[in-house]
Every structure is written in C-alpha cells, then in structure tokens.
Chains A and B, each alone.
Chain A
C-alpha cells in the first residue's frame, strides 16, 4: 500500500551532490529517474561525438560538444565535474592546436567514464525505489 512516509525515504548517493539534487528534484523521484536516464543516454552520445571531434583535430567542434556535455552533469548532481568541463571548454576556446588540449581531453574522458558509472548506479537505485509505488 502507498505510504507517504516511504515516499520521501529515498536518499541520493553521497558521492553525488545530495543537497543540490534534493533542491532540484524535491520529492519528485519519477522526474529524477527520467532525467538521470536521459542524461546518461545523452552523455554517451555527446561523449562519442566529442571523441570523434578530438580525433579529427576539430577543436571548435570539440568545444561545442563539451559545451553540450557540461550541463548534463549538473542534472545528475555532479557539479564539480560540470565545473571541470566548463574549464575545459574554456581551454578549447583558447587552444590553437589539437595537441594543446590532449592532456585535458584524456582527463575529461576519464572523469566522464567514472561519472557514468555513478549515474548508472543511481538510475538502478531510483528505479528500485520508484517501482515500489507502481
């Protein structure tokens, strides 16, 4: 049976920005699940695109991809990574040659992969929580 007290029992994982996520979604965990899922999906698409732009040496294209990736981390409570991507976007804007963004890109690739793992775990938790009330 539906229980109002249980409804707010979900807590976001401490590895995410819990306070911010709480502020963002309130107790609307259905929305959180939907946004987490679509963010993860879009992150994968945009990261592949960024990878392709990087390999083509297309820095303006890479910058655009990074610009699109950046806010996605915000929706999943990874604000620190969002800031790192913002800094990398700036780096791309100032770069003259692909070699100058290589180190930065490798780092972005690594933290994005870690982030995706965290998001996937959180999606599982959210699904588990939300299905209790179906």
Chain B
C-alpha cells in the first residue's frame, strides 16, 4: 500500500518538483496539494493521511502553526529553503527535513525514514493507536482520544471528545484487539478507556458526562483496575 500524502507548499514549482519525485519512487501517493496551511488544516479535520510534506514559511498560518493545530500526528517531512528551522524541526519530532531544492537521492532517504518510522509505529500500534474504517476511509484514533466504545448491534460507536465514529464491528471482537493497558470491557455493550473515568457510583461510571453501566460480572475487574487509595 502506498504512503498517502499531501503537500502543503505555496511555491507551485516546488510542489511540482516534489510530485514528480513521488511518482518516480512509486511508493508515495500525493492525494492533494495545498497552497496554504489553512486549506490543509480544513482538509485534515476530516481526512487522515500518513505523511505531510510541509513548507514552513507560507503566507498566513505557518507550517509549525499547522502542526500545533493538528489533532493527530501523521509523519511530517519539512521542506524549506532555510536551515534555521532545524531546531524547531527537532522539537516537533518531524521525520525529516529537506532543504529546497533537494535531490532525488535525498528525497529517497527521507522516504526510507518514513517507512522505517511507520514500521516501528505499526509494531507499537497496540500501544498507542488503532485504525477504524468509518465513512469509507481508514481513520487513525489514538487511544488517548477514545473515551469509550459502545455496541450498536453489528456496529460499534467510538466516542471521542469531539466526534463519534460508527464502524462495522462488535464489542466481542474489539475486546481482543484494543490495548488492555488502556481499555477494558465493563459491560457487554461497552468498552471504556479507564484513564478517562471521572467517577464511579455503584454500578455506573461516568466519562465526560456520559453514564456507562457496569455489569455485575465486570464490577470486580473494574475495581481491581482502578487505583483506589
């Protein structure tokens, strides 16, 4: 599967140059090119990509400001004509930093870093995120963003603070796939992120104002899991 990417670059020539390299290497697909960060941000609110080729200095919102506003963390290759941003690049933990114009060889090195990082992340996938298929696309949800998962028959609903995602799956199936260090089943219809529990009253727990029942069979498990002082 190709690396799904977007280019955020106000210089058309630089974007054309990069697109050609992406085509040439055969492993990177450029889904969109945005001439400014605002349009890219708008797109990234509803769409998940693996990689962003990101210019730093653009009119309006800068590349770093875009990274500040992202709700998830795809891999990022900064493309800039200045070397002064290297320290910031390090701070933002970007995958690589390409000084424009860059050679095909240098581009390939950056893509290799992306693949390597991606392999490492997939190896740790159980630990910090999962992918769900919703609205015809694969969406990466970080464990920390998921409040709880609710059964809806043959479907489940992933509840995050900002959005609800419905996907074709069952609680029973998910129970074995989510990270047990973060999630636990508390009822036949609910899996919760127990780091998000606000309070527990009798056989009900509360997460962000949502009331979730705890079944008798799972009550002792819940009580063992939470840290009672």
Surface stretch bound by A, among B5-13, B125-133, B192-200 = B5-13
CB neighbours (8 Å) of B20 from chain A are 28, 31, 34-35
Surface stretch bound by A, among B45-53, B68-76, B85-93, B99-107 = B99-107
CB neighbours (8 Å) of A34 from chain B are 16, 20
CB nearest neighbor in B for A72: B13
CB neighbours (8 Å) of B81 from chain A are 67, 70-71, 74, 86
CB neighbours (8 Å) of B10 from chain A are 68
Given contacts A35-B17, A42-B11, A42-B12, contact A71 B100 (CB under 8 A): yes
Contact of A72 among B11, B24, B57, B103 (CB under 8 A): B11
The number of chain B residues with a CB under 8 A from chain A is 17
Contact of B101 among A42, A64, A67, A74 (CB under 8 A): A74
Given contacts A67-B57, A67-B81, A70-B81, contact A35 B104 (CB under 8 A): no
Contact of A75 among B13, B24, B104 (CB under 8 A): B13
* A75 CB to nearest chain B CB (Å): 5
A24 to B103, CA, bound (A): 5
A79 to B17, CA, bound (A): 17
A64 to B20, CA, bound (A): 26
CB nearest neighbor in B for A64: B59
Interface membership of B14, Cβ < 8 A: yes
* A26 CB to nearest chain B CB (Å): 6
Enumerate chain B interface residues (CB-CB to A < 8 A): 10-14, 16-17, 20, 24, 57, 59, 81, 100-101, 103-105
* A80 CB to nearest chain B CB (Å): 14
A72 to B15, CA, bound (A): 12
- Looking at B11, B59, B103, the one whose CB has the most chain A CB atoms below 10 A away is B11
The number of chain A residues with a CB under 8 A from chain B is 19
Closest 9 CB pairs of A and B: A71-B81, A74-B101, A71-B100, A38-B13, A23-B103, A75-B101, A39-B13, A31-B20, A42-B13
* B11 CB to nearest chain A CB (Å): 6
CB neighbours (8 Å) of B100 from chain A are 71, 74
CB neighbours (8 Å) of A38 from chain B are 12-13, 16
Q: Which of A35-77 contact B (CB under 8 A)?
A: 35, 38-39, 42, 64, 67-68, 70-72, 74-75
CB neighbours (8 Å) of A67 from chain B are 57, 81
A116 to B12, CA, bound (A): 18
CB nearest neighbor in B for A74: B101
CB neighbours (8 Å) of A86 from chain B are 81
A23 to B11, CA, bound (A): 21
CB neighbours (8 Å) of A74 from chain B are 81, 100-101
Given contacts A38-B16, A74-B81, A75-B17, contact A24 B11 (CB under 8 A): no
